[in-house]
Amino acid sequence: MTEHSLTEEIRQIGRRARNAARMVMSASPAVKAQALTILAELLRTRQAEILAANTLDVQAAATAGMDPARLDRLAMTPAVLAAMAEACLQVAAMPDPVGVIETQWQRPNGLLVGKMRVPLGVVAMIFESRPNVTIDAAILCLKAGNAVILRGGSEAIRSNLALAALLHESLKRSGLPPDAVQVLDMTDRAAVTELCRLDEYVDVMIPRGGESLVRAVCAAATMPVLKHYMGVCHLYVDEGADPDMALALAFNGKVQRPGVCNALECLLVHEKEAPAFLPRMAERLGAAGVTFKACPRSLPLLGASALPLQPEDCGREFGDLTLAVLVVDSLDAALAHIDRYGSRHSEVICTNNHAHAMRFVREADASFTAVNASTRFNDGGQLGLGAEIGISTSKLHAYGPMGVRELTTAKFVAFGSGQIRE
């Protein structure tokens, strides 16, 4: 495709999304719920065509030499489809956020003022690999009354287009415009660049994927971006913390799923706890395959296989079973370390000291700060938002997991009886 025709094609997609957004914005809650219910049914009855398309994607990716971890994330199964259908029904059953007046107050002149939740308009999402993101993003945007443009990775293109066919059928059967969800079949980088220039039609861009994708979209986008950078998450084991609890939190944070953004990357231990805690920790996590990068004070406590911590290991998202370990003097030292090296994602303290708990929760600068709980809970499903469209690590608009509510905004509404300004 020539550059000129690609630009025009993407602009037409933007215009169609804007027109669809006008209709979806005022669709009734019942109509939107119906579309989601029909989609759930189609994900069951037309399983075979989705799995067939996915098999072609997986075969092509395997031939191209994709590594097993990524292949595993690409592959869909009947269980994956059943979970998608379940997500559709859950989102359908959630209260519709659009048009709700959340708070109201009255002015001295009798003007009744409120804030009403309204859709953002057109959302564009650029993501990689997992085809379930296609369904999650589409159903959350639809529930929030937005139109969405989805551009998934080339490796999942057949799966995504097969899912798009079901999405379009569910929209049509509910009387909603099929352009409310557009899945791009253009998988080259140029299409991403063009999307990033579409500020006339797109209200917000959401990149979800590796750091290079997120950085490229942030640099190119002319509209606001809700970004999800890397997660460099810490657990601070305070003086007097319950060592069994601290051990369970460290194990869960690092071992349960080391590749994700809310996994634990760095353990900070108070110097009073280190001598007893660190050898136990090293034994338990070491048995699960964890290797340690240790500061000079923790190195002697972590066994022969521990390596010395390098300067670049602080603030690093290892993405595997590597854990940085540092001994600190105090809560203040732990907070200072997090302030310097954290990525504003997920920060946890294990403590029995109430004042320390409250200080940590307030002062650690992250989208999720917690006491005596695993970093792995920083997730829309785990926190009770229903499905999520990503985890924002920037502070504007949304900070942390973004669900349906974060795909809306609030405008001021006022009901008067002829009030004028004096």
Task: Give yes or no for a contact between 88 and 43, defined as CB atoms under 8 angstroms apart.
Answer: yes
Q: Is 308 in the site for a second copy (CB under 8 A)?
A: no
Q: Is 93 in the site for a second copy (CB under 8 A)?
A: no
Task: Give yes or no for a contact between 334 and 295, defined as CB atoms under 8 angstroms apart.
Answer: no
d(CA 281, CA 303): 10
Q: Shortest distance, CB of residue 369 to a second copy, whole angstroms?
A: 6
Among 48, 65, 68, 421, which residue interacts with a second copy (rule: CB under 8 A)?
421
Instruction: Mark the segment that binds a second copy (CB under 8 A) among 66-74, 228-236, 280-288, 408-416.
Output: 408-416
Q: Is 193 in the site for a second copy (CB under 8 A)?
A: no
Among 1, 12, 26, 211, which residue interacts with a second copy (rule: CB under 8 A)?
26
Q: Which CB sits closer to a second copy, 153 or 401? A: 401
Print the binding letters for residues 336-365 with a second copy: x by CB under 8 A, - otherwise: ---x-----------------x---xxx-x
Tokens of 326: 């540092």
Among 120, 183, 217, 389, which residue interacts with a second copy (rule: CB under 8 A)?
120
How distant, in Å, are the alpha carbons of 1, 60, 290 from that of 63? 26, 5, 31
Among 31, 83, 116, 321, which residue interacts with a second copy (rule: CB under 8 A)?
116
Element (H, E) at 151: strand 147-151
Q: Shortest distance, CB of residue 281 to a second copy, whole angstroms?
A: 15
| 206: phi then psi, degrees, rounded to nearest 5 | -125, 105
Size of the site for a second copy (CB under 8 A): 64
Which position has the token pair 């957004």? 21
Nearest to 17 by CA among 180, 199, 185, 203: 180
Q: Is 395 in the site for a second copy (CB under 8 A)?
A: yes
Q: Is 321 in the site for a second copy (CB under 8 A)?
A: no
* 3-class SS of residue 179: helix
Element (H, E) at 347: strand 346-350
Instruction: Mark the segment that binds a second copy (CB under 8 A) among 86-94, 150-158, 319-327, 414-422.
Output: 414-422
Q: Which CB sits closer to a second copy, 341 or 377? A: 377
Q: Is 368 in the site for a second copy (CB under 8 A)?
A: yes
Task: Give yes or no for a contact between 328 and 339, defined as CB atoms under 8 angstroms apart.
Answer: no
Q: Shortest distance, CB of residue 256 to a second copy, whole angstroms?
A: 6
Q: Read off the DSSP letter of residue 210.
A: -
Among 52, 56, 62, 111, which residue interacts with a second copy (rule: CB under 8 A)?
111
d(CA 67, CA 181): 31
d(CA 201, CA 183): 16
Q: Which CB sits closer to a second copy, 289 or 300? A: 289
Q: Which CB sits closer to a second copy, 54 or 378? A: 378
Q: Shortest distance, CB of residue 160 to a second copy, whole angstroms?
A: 26
What residue type is 60 in one-letter code? Answer: A
Nearest to 52 by CA among 36, 75, 71: 75
d(CA 34, CA 17): 21
Q: Is 174 in the site for a second copy (CB under 8 A)?
A: no
Q: Which CB sits closer to a second copy, 81 or 205? A: 205
* 3-class SS of residue 161: helix
Q: Which CB sits closer to a second copy, 25 or 266? A: 25
Nearest to 376 by CA among 268, 251, 233, 263: 263
The strand ranges marked E within 196-282 are 204-208, 233-237, 264-270
Q: Is 211 in the site for a second copy (CB under 8 A)?
A: no
Tokens of 174: 């509910």
Instruction: Mark the segment that binds a second copy (CB under 8 A) among 53-61, 163-171, 247-255, 304-312.
Output: 247-255
Please report, as ranges, the residues that interact with a second copy according to CB under 8 A.
22, 25-26, 99, 105, 107, 111, 113, 116, 118, 120-121, 203-204, 224, 226, 242, 245, 248-249, 251-252, 256, 339, 357, 361-363, 365-374, 376-378, 382-384, 394-397, 399-401, 409-421
